[in-house]
């Protein structure tokens, strides 16, 4: 699995960033490197990653603040925080603010790689349930459970489209992006509008919001 995993690596120390980048790349991971909190936030909000490896002491925006902002935008990508602040209170704070794991500096390379593998395994074998305007989506079962308790079964493409929107609930997706990621084998861009119609027919018009001149986003969250 490692050859397809994408990791956002956030580290401001140039030598350590280069070492970690080379280490993760050698293990077969694809990395995107950010050297400050503002860049990390931008990358995390605009790209899909399987894992965040995040330094805590970052310039511009502190690492845990970056993580908290990503979590507040509905981005649930697992995060491994690296920090010289490694006493129990610091670790507890990191975990409470959204990190799945916390490793103190200096760290053992083999332990770091083992934690990366463990987080990726957990992330990829979990069954995510995503929040919707009027319920939740079980992506494995392709089932929407409404607040009233009704279960609505979706087709594979309907589920994939809804999942794409629900993973980034505050992002507006252009039709071309949805076409490329959800319907890569389709020639007609109108297929996006067709499946938005299907979702609204099953879930109500509130399920997907049209942003004129741009595309679509998930309906308004409660």
Q: What is the pTM of this model?
A: 0.61
Q: Which fold has domain 2-125?
A: Rossmann fold (3.40.50)
Show pLDDT as tens, one digit a residue, over the chain (222 residues). Answer: 334 688 999 999 999 999 999 999 999 999 999 999 999 999 998 888 889 999 998 999 999 999 999 888 778 789 999 988 878 888 899 888 889 999 999 999 999 999 999 998 877 655 578 888 888 998 878 899 998 889 999 998 999 999 999 988 888 999 988 988 888 888 788 999 999 999 999 999 999 999 998 999 998 754
The DSSP secondary-structure symbol of 4 reads G
CB 190 within 8 A of CB 146: no
Every domain of the chain and the residues it spans: 2-125, 129-218
Closest CA to 55 of 83, 78, 36, 29: 83
The architecture that CATH gives domain 129-218 is Orthogonal Bundle (1.10)
Closest CA to 21 of 4, 12, 9, 3: 9
CB 182 within 8 A of CB 216: no
CA 143, CA 1: separation in Å to the nearest integer?
26
Dihedral of CA atoms 192, 32, 131, 190 in degrees, nearest 10, equals 0
């Amino acid at each position: 699995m490692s050859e397809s995993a994408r990791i956002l690596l956030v580290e401001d120390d140039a030598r350590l960033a280069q070492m970690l980048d080379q280490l993760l790349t050698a293990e077969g991971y694809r990395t995107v490197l950010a050297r400050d909190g503002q860049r990390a936030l931008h990358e995390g909000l605009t790209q899909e990653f399987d894992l965040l490896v995040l330094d805590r002491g970052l310039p511009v925006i502190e690492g845990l603040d970056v993580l908290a902002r990503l979590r507040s935008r509905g981005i649930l990508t697992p995060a491994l925080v690296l920090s010289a602040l490694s006493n129990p209170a610091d670790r507890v704070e990191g975990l409470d603010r959204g990190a799945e794991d916390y490793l103190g500096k200096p760290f053992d390379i083999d332990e770091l790689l083992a934690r990366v593998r463990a987080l990726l395994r957990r992330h990829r074998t979990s069954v995510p349930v995503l929040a919707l305007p009027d319920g939740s989506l079980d992506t494995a079962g392709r089932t929407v459970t409404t607040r009233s308790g009704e279960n609505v079964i979706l087709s594979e493409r309907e589920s994939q489209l809804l999942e794409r929107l629900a993973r980034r609930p505050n992002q507006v997706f252009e039709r071309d992006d949805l076409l490329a990621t959800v319907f890569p084998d389709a020639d007609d861009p109108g297929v996006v509008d067709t499946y938005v119609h299907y979702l609204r027919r099953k879930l109500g018009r509130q399920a997907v919001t049209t942003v004129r001149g741009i595309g679509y986003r998930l309906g308004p969250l409660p």
